[in-house]
């Protein structure tokens, strides 16, 4: 099995080109099913989740070609059915977008339950409620569910909470539905906006994406064309944090600085300095970090996907920090791992109380999800000695080449193969801190 090995890292210096957004790519790839002509997407990252989508596309008959320049062309004209392999659908989170994207054309979609990072509870009731309002009927089975609709009709949908997944899924279903759909309490995330922009480029009639009310007038068909996915703001945010942990200056290029507003504001409070340009951001360490409080919230608030890497940074900031997770109250699988490295963190409900500035020591630790992996890579840069991280497959769901990028900045990081039993034993006996 693969592990990531890290040694304490001196100042980082250099720049990293940020890959296309995972979460946007997952929506865009599924959205292509709505078109009646080929679509070419630029910037889609070569990551595990995307490879699964290409597999699913292949199964249902949508030809996909990855060109030498990295672009992907998808041809929805040859889709034969909407019976999605259960296991493939359950191996990542956003498989539910195939429901919204295939329902109008096929009248019935059969699919496995969404997988993805395990935060104990990730309900899909808002997807169900929204699609039902448009005329869909759901049936739930042990390992899959089916969604049927003889006809999809526009509806007025009030979400009970802000959800990017349900906003995008209902938007996809509404594009070819009859009449007008209004999504109220919609998510404003850049990934929602990116999806709406692409669909409009191909002939959809969506207005208001990026606000909390999205209106979609159903159209009869969509054409194809070309679209470039937005950059991954979550990966960019984690690289900016690495300058705070290891020192030095890190530039992220090919980004949209506006998408990182709340992250930059929080990192400035903590003591980093920033230079913002049109498409790049440089984070400078000032050598001084301050404790802070943070509460995650939906865009434009501080993203839950940045909570875990931020926690690593706060563990190194002297003083008491308080991190409250409002989106996934149990998203703390990184905390026991940070404790194994000597971090002083107490968890009470959905809040982590951090006494920062204690020395960290390398250890064997396990990344249970993508951002726990980011968090542990950052912590490993600050820890004395060697840190070995298992669960690399989770990191690979989101990052094209995290190791290469951190190495290019000067981090002491490598991918190594070890015997699985050896890793398990090391994780079991590691020097667990009280």
Ligand X SMILES: C=C(OP(=O)(O)O)C(=O)O
Ligand Y SMILES: CC(=O)N[C@H]1[C@@H](OP(=O)(O)OP(=O)(O)OC[C@H]2O[C@@H](n3ccc(=O)[nH]c3=O)[C@H](O)[C@@H]2O)O[C@H](CO)[C@@H](O)[C@@H]1O
| Ligand-binding site membership of 407 (annotated) | no
Contact 168, 195 (CB under 8 A): yes
| Whether residue 117 lies in the annotated active site | yes
Least gap, CB of 327 to ligand Y (angstroms): 4
Half-sphere exposure of 109 (CA within 13 A, CB side): 26
By CB under 6 A, residue 371 contacts ligand X:
yes
Asked whether the beta carbons of 165 and 131 are under 8 A apart, the reply is no
Rule CB under 6 A: which residues touch ligand Y? 23, 26, 93-94, 122-127, 161, 163-166, 187, 304-305, 327-328
Nearest to 145 by CA among 107, 92, 108: 108
The CB-of-87 to ligand X minimum distance in angstroms stands at 16
Which of the following is catalytic: 49, 75, 85, 117?
A: 117
Q: Which is nearer to ligand Y, 75 or 191 (CB)?
A: 191
Question: Which among 90-98, 255-263, 406-414, 423-431 is the span making contact with ligand X, rule CB under 6 A?
Answer: 90-98
Q: Which is nearer to ligand Y, 160 or 416 (CB)?
A: 160
Question: Among 8, 86, 93, 188, which residue interacts with ligand X (rule: CB under 6 A)?
Answer: 93
Pick between residue 8 and residue 22 the one whose CB is nearest to ligand Y. Answer: 22
Determine the size of the site formed for ligand X (CB under 6 A): 9
Binding site partner of 163, from ligand Y, ligand X, none, Cβ cut-off 5-8 A by kind = ligand Y
Q: Which is nearer to ligand X, 45 or 224 (CB)?
A: 45
Q: What residues numbered 101-120 form the site for ligand X, per CB under 6 A?
A: 116-117
Q: Which does 420 bind (CB under 5 to 8 A by kind): ligand X, ligand Y, none?
A: none
Which residues contact ligand X by CB under 6 A? Answer: 92-94, 116-117, 305, 370-371, 398
> Which residue numbers are catalytic?
117
**Residues that constitute the known binding site for UDP-N-acetyl-alpha-D-glucosamine:** 93, 122-126, 305, 327
């Amino acid at each position: 099995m693969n592990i990531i090995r890290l040694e304490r890292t001196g100042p980082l210096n250099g720049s990293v080109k940020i890959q296309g957004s995972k979460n946007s790519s997952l929506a865009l790839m599924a959205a292509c099913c709505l078109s009646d002509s080929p679509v070419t997407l630029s910037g889609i990252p070569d990551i595990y989740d995307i490879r699964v989508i290409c597999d699913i596309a292949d199964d249902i008959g949508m030809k996909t070609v990855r060109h030498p320049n990295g672009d992907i062309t998808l041809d929805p004209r040859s889709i034969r059915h909407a019976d999605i392999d259960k296991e493939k659908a359950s191996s990542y989170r956003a498989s539910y977008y195939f429901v919204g994207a295939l329902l109008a054309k096929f009248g019935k979609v059969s699919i496995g339950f969404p997988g993805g990072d395990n935060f104990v509870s990730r309900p899909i009731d808002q997807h169900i409620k929204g699609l039902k309002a448009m005329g869909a009927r759901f049936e739930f089975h042990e390992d899959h569910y089916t969604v049927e609709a003889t006809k999809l009709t526009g509806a007025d949908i009030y979400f009970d909470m802000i959800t990017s997944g349900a906003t995008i899924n209902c938007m996809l279903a509404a594009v070819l539905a009859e009449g007008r759909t209004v999504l109220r309490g919609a998510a404003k995330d850049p990934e929602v906006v990116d999806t709406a922009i692409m669909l409009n480029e191909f002939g959809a009639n969506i207005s208001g994406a990026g606000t909390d009310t999205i209106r979609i007038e159903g159209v009869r068909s969509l054409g194809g064309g070309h679209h470039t996915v937005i950059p991954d703001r979550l990966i960019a945010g984690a690289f900016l944090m690495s300058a705070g942990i290891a020192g030095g200056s890190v530039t992220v290029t090919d980004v949209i600085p506006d998408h990182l507003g709340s992250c930059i504001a929080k990192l400035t409070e903590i003591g980093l300095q920033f230079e913002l340009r049109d498409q790049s951001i440089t984070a400078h360490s000032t050598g001084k970090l301050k404790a802070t409080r943070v509460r995650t919230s939906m865009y434009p608030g501080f993203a839950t996907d940045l909570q875990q890497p931020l926690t690593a940074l706060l563990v190194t900031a002297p003083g008491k920090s308080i991190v409250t997770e409002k989106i996934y109250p149990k998203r703390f699988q990184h905390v026991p791992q940070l404790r194994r490295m000597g971090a002083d963190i107490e968890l009470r409900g959905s809040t982590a109380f951090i006494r920062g500035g204690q020395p960290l020591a390398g250890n064997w630790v396990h990344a249970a999800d993508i951002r726990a992996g980011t968090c542990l890579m950052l912590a490993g840069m600050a820890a004395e000695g060697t840190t070995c991280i298992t669960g690399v497959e989770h990191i690979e769901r989101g990052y094209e080449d995290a190791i290469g990028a951190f190495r290019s900045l000067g981090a002491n990081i490598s991918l190594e193969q070890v015997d699985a039993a050896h890793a398990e034993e090391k994780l079991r006996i590691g020097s667990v801190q009280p």
